[in-house]
Amino acid sequence: MSKDRAASLIFLVFGIYGFIFSINIPMGEWQSPGPGIFPLGISIVLCLSGAAWFIANGKSVPIETVSWRAVGKTAVRPLQVVGITLIFILLMDRTGYLLGSSLYLFTLLLLVSRYRFSVALAFAVALGGGSWFFFGKLLGVELPMGPGFL
Amino acid sequence: MDVLSNLHSGFQTALTFQNIYLCFIGCLWGTIVGVLPGVGPLAGITLLIPATYSLDPTGAIIMLAGIYYGAMYGGSTTSILMNIPGESASVVTCLDGYQMTLKGRGGAALCISAVGSWVGGTFAVLGLMLLAPFLANFAMKFGPAEMFAVLLIAFIMLGSFGSGSFFRTLPMLCIGLLLGTVGADSMTGMRRFTHGIMSLYDGIGFLPVAMGTLALGEVLTAIEESLSRHIPKVKFRELLPTREEFRASVGPIFRGTGVGFFIGLLPGSAHVLSSFISYMVEKRWAKRPEEFGTGRIEGVAGPETANNAAAGSAMVPFLSMGIPTGPAPAVMMIALLIHGIRPGPLFIAEHPEIFWGLVASMYVGNVVLLILNLPLVGIFVNLLRIPFRLLFPAIILISLVGTYSVNASRFELLLLLGFGVLGYVFRKLQFDIAPLVLAMIIGPIIEVHFRQSLMSSGGSLSIFWERPIALVLIVVSCLLVLWNIYRSLRPTQAAWEKVLSENN
């Protein structure tokens, strides 16, 4: 599949989603256009655009194709980062910022960046503690509190 | 006289201890993000937005603008010394800049690049100072129909002159516009696309989208690559250009200023486009164009001046009409919106201290950057020794805590992550994500003006051609669309060659 054709599928998903959910919003009249008219119009343009990209890239020989094996290889690190970040976000309220961010950084530095255990731990504590001090203490951002003083 | 007295009061604002400090921090951070490959000016600005919450709006915009034009200065360093563009506007600088380094003239290229950036940046601020109040006064006469037409042409130009083709940018603009409609409708209060999720009632926050697509998406893409590099050393005495090099640079610097300032006024990736056009102008102007790409100083001086001039002039439509013409002004607009200030035709009249304070700070900032980028260039080059595998966790953490600090919402963090993945995917598919963010910001404004126009005309579309300014703008928009259709349908040189070879 060509890269453009893969992109056209994303456009179609957004366009069809917008179309389905905007037809139920009141359209109003020309004298007083309702809140549905603008998203409906955009969704139609997006669907047409996605369909045009899909058709235009179907017949011609793709200049650059998506190699799913290559994507699997190169996307390992971004996927690891996304997964670890998701866990951090979901657990942040329970662990608190100071502990959570240090654990999060430690995991990233150990698993993704491949630092040694002690190096990863040192950087994680320094960066996590530093960001907690900068945002929480200096800028007064209300960060989630965890168990104890963490 | 008005301009001079306003500028005087602007300098009084800009030269307070706090604002000089913020300008310096912005310029320093801008140079750092410009130097570091994988962290562009957009990521740099978005990462420092949280640090502006406790500041007054003037200080906040002074610092963020400093990052923007500072990154233009810093971006050339890695292009010249390592053939790695620190940010997209410096891609073209690699062509001759790196060749000069190979010939032992890298220091001179850095010097001319810094001087050109200073000239381009300073003249652009002069243009901003003279043009923006005039344009704002003119725009105050605009009704909803004219504003709609202005925004429409901005959208079409964004597609036409952006980094991709019009039909490549169009779907990204549409997705951005669609995202901008999520939440309560500003005219009726009716909820759209909220699916009963309370956190969406106020719409999708600009910050999670900008941080996600621009900062996180950029990092996710960058961590795929190995970033081991050789860094040449630059000695201070090597920075001085020869008399011939200096003489050859004067023309390109002044032409680059003109090209950059004009291109910067247009929507699209102005600073990127301006450096390419300036390079083409210099090549065409040169007596021996075949020598371009082998280490000509003109190939560094013109583009580096142009991208700084474009960064300055991009502020004109953003501050005077509320139209962010590129992703960086769009992110600055988000910062001002967070402070409760909306740029537009009334902005300069209602907040003169912010506008003139910013203008004056840009003069100061350009001098600060000249100092930072000439004698201290060696220090910035050493920053490249920080491994990216240590840098990226810190960048992601700052994005997360920065987004969290606005509404203390875990939902917004999930949005940030989702948009980060979307940004990564679109980067992999080679679609420019910046128009999506721009459209999301401008979308709600264009919708309101469109609906208000129809309401004021009793539902008649004739309002768009009965008013002369709206008519001209809409005709130009239509012509631009037709030009884009023609451009995409006309046979390419490769297609012609294929047909000819088949016939033979």
d(CA B222, CA B226): 8
Per-residue model confidence (pLDDT) at position B421: 94
B405, B429, B454: residue with CB nearest A30 = B454
> Which one-letter DSSP state was computed for residue A34?
-
Q: How confident is the model at residue A84 (pLDDT cuts 50, 70, 90)?
A: very high
Alpha helix ranges (H) inside B374-409: 377-383, 388-407
Which residue type is seen at B316?
V
% of chain B residues with pLDDT over 90: 17
Higher-pLDDT residue of A140 and B427 is B427
Q: Which residues of A touch B170 (CB under 8 A)?
A: 45, 49
Reported as a pLDDT band with limits 50, 70 and 90, residue B227 is very low
Which positions 378-407 of B are in contact with A (Cβ < 8 Å)? 389-390, 392-394, 396-398, 400-401, 404-405
Amino acid at B446: I
Comparison of pLDDT for B198 and B269, the residue scoring more:
B198
Mean pLDDT of B223-243: 65
Mean residue pLDDT of chain B comes to 83
Q: Does A19 touch chain B (CB under 8 A)?
A: no
Higher pLDDT, B178 or A60: B178
Q: Give the global pTM.
A: 0.77
- The predicted-structure confidence for B453-503, as pLDDT tens digits, reads as follows 888 888 888 888 888 888 998 998 899 888 888 877 776 666 666 666 766
Q: Is B226 on the interface with A (CB under 8 A)?
A: no
Amino acid at B195: H
Q: How many CA atoms lie within 13 A of B328 on its CB side?
A: 31
pLDDT digits (tens, 9 = 90+) for B34-72: 777 656 677 778 777 877 878 888 999 999 889 888 887
Residues 51-90, chain A, touching B (beta carbon < 8 A) = 52-53, 64, 66, 71, 74-75, 77-78, 81-82, 85-86, 88-90
Confidence of residue B357 (pLDDT cuts 50, 70, 90): very high
Distance separating alpha carbons of residues B318 and B476, to the nearest angstrom? 21
**By three-state DSSP, how is residue B325 classified?**
coil
A24 at B interface, C-beta within 8 A: no
SS3 A28: strand
Q: How far is A72 from chain B (nearest CA, A)?
A: 11
Cβ-defined contact of B454 to A7 (cutoff 8 Å) = no
- Are the beta carbons of B460 and A30 separated by less than 8 Å? yes
Query: Is the separation of the CB atoms in A95 and A103 below 8 Å?
Result: yes
Ranges A76-80, B117-121, B218-222, B475-479: which has the least confidence: B218-222
* Residue type for position B477: S
Please compute Rg for chain A using Cα positions.
24
**pLDDT bracket for residue A48 (50, 70, 90):** very high
**Closest CA in chain B for residue A90:** B410
CA A94 to chain centre: 22
pLDDT at A101: 93
Closest residue to B177, CB basis, from A42, A64, A114: A42
In this complex, the residue of A4, A39, A64 whose CB is nearest that of residue B181 is A39
Residue B87 is predicted with a pLDDT of 65
Question: What is the reported pLDDT for B456?
Answer: 86
Nearest beta carbon to residue A31 from set B53, B221, B455: B455
- Please report the pLDDT score of residue B503 as a whole number: 65
CB contact under 8 A, A92 and B410: yes
The highest-confidence range among B135-144, B162-171, B418-427, by mean pLDDT, is: B418-427
Could you tell me if B292 and B264 are in contact, meaning their C-beta atoms sit under 8 angstroms apart?
no
Mean pLDDT, residues B259-268 taken together: 80
For B365-380, letters b (16+ CB in 10 Å) and e give bbebbbebbbeebeeb
The two structure tokens encoding residue B471 = 């008519």
- B278 φψ region: left (φ > 0), alpha (ψ -120 to 50), beta (else): alpha
- Rounded Cα–Cα distance for residues B163 and B372 (Å): 30
What is the band of B161 on the pLDDT scale with cuts at 50, 70, 90?
A: low
pLDDT more than 70, % of chain B: 90
Per-residue pLDDT band at B234 (split at 50, 70, 90)? low
Within an 8 Å CB–CB cutoff, is residue B221 touching chain A?
Answer: yes
The predicted model gives A26-47 an average pLDDT of 90
Look at A33 and B425 and tell me if their CB atoms are within 8 Å: no
Q: What integer pLDDT is reported at residue B219 of this predicted model?
A: 84
- Chain A contact for B196, CB < 8 A? no
Confidence of residue B270 (pLDDT cuts 50, 70, 90): low
Distance CA B369, CA B36 (A): 16
Beta-carbon-side half-sphere exposure of residue A115 (alpha carbons within 13 Å)? 21
What is the rounded distance in angstroms from the CA atom of residue B304 to the CA atom of residue B309?
9
Helix (H, G, I), strand (E, B) or coil at B432: coil
Query: How far, in Å, CA of B282 to CA of B248, rounded?
Result: 11
Contact A25 B177 (CB under 8 A): no
Mean predicted confidence (pLDDT) in B299-317: 88
pLDDT at B21: 92
Highest mean pLDDT among A121-135, B151-165, B211-225: A121-135
Instruction: Say how many C-beta atoms besides its own lie within 10 A of residue B29's C-beta.
Output: 23
The letter for the amino acid at B365 is G
Give mean pLDDT, residues B292-304: 88
Asked whether the beta carbons of residue B397 and residue A128 sit closer than 8 angstroms, the reply is yes
Q: Do B223 and A85 touch (CB under 8 A)?
A: no
Q: Which of B55, B172, B174, B213 should we substitute to test contact with A (largest number of A Cβ atoms within 10 Å)?
A: B174
Beta partners for B141? none
Q: How far apart are CA B425 and CA B436, in angstroms?
A: 13
Is B267 a residue whose pLDDT tops 70?
A: no
